[in-house]
A and B are shown apart, each in its own frame.
Chain A
Amino acid sequence: AQRVTQPEKLLSVFKGAPVELKCNYSYSGSPELFWYVQYSRQRLQLLLRHISRESIKGFTADLNKGETSFHLKKPFAQEEDSAMYYCAQVSETSGSRLTFGEGTQLTVNP
């Protein structure tokens, strides 16, 4: 079965430190991958998609097909980055659109 795996449920870093949230996928072809974020008391929202090759709020994510990974990175974490982050992949099966990972709760300490 198709899976998106985020091995870290909790991740804690200090302000100004680099942060990397890991995501591994199981798609056999050319995947479409996304990062969604849920800040405290806010709704889940799209952060970035790999196809855009964009940097949002200082975050980037590179698709590594050899390692089947799509890790989210930021060189200098800020306290406002504290949130729940979900990696998601377009489902290979018809219709179900997105398969989400288990989520990583990031805490950036002052």
Chain B
Amino acid sequence: NAGVTQTPKFRVLKTGQSMTLLCAQDMNHEYMYWYRQDPGMGLRLIHYSVGEGTTAKGEVPDGYNVSRLKKQNFLLGLESAAPSQTSVYFCASEAASGGLPYEQYFGPGTRLTVT
């Protein structure tokens, strides 16, 4: 099992460009999350999904959109990138049942720089 994978690993964007980050999990987990990690601010939840076809806003959703068309994939989109979106982005998944509650499995991260 690959667990949680993220594509790409690194990306540099110019201000105003758009991009999509892909998260995939092969554990049949219901819940999926997108976080951003910034120095001194910890992990902050951007958006999350509790099942295929559902999404919800987290703590810092502005400037981002998400989609969960398939259970195994969770996409994070930046429509018009800004320097404030320079960060490391982590995807995570969690089983709704059958596993330990609140045990999230994380991907390796995507380092995004917006110039």
Contacts and interface: CB of A to CB of B under 8 A. Distances in A.
A18 B11 CA distance: 40
Contacts of A96: 45, 48, 56, 58-59
A97 B94 contact: yes
Contact of B107 (A43, A46, A99, A102): A43
Given A34-B102, A43-B107, A102 B41 contact: yes
B102 A9 contact: no
B108 A98 contact: no
Interface in A68-101: 86, 88, 90, 95-101
Interface in B26-81: 31, 33, 35, 40-45, 48, 50, 56, 58-59
A97 B33 contact: yes
A12 interface: no
B30 to A, nearest CB: 12
B104 A98 contact: yes
Contacts of A102: 40-42
B102 A49 contact: yes
Contacts, number: 57
Which secondary structure characterizes the binding site on chain B? strand
Given A86-B42, A96-B45, A102-B41, A43 B108 contact: yes
A97 B102 contact: yes
A55 interface: no
B89 interface: no
B64 to A, nearest CB: 15
B58 to A, nearest CB: 6
A29 B59 CA distance: 21
Interface of B: 4, 31, 33, 35, 40-45, 48, 50, 56, 58-59, 90, 92, 94, 100, 102-109
Given A43-B105, A86-B42, 11 more contacts: A34-B102, A36-B104, A44-B43, A88-B102, A95-B50, A96-B45, A96-B58, A98-B102, A99-B45, A100-B43, A102-B42
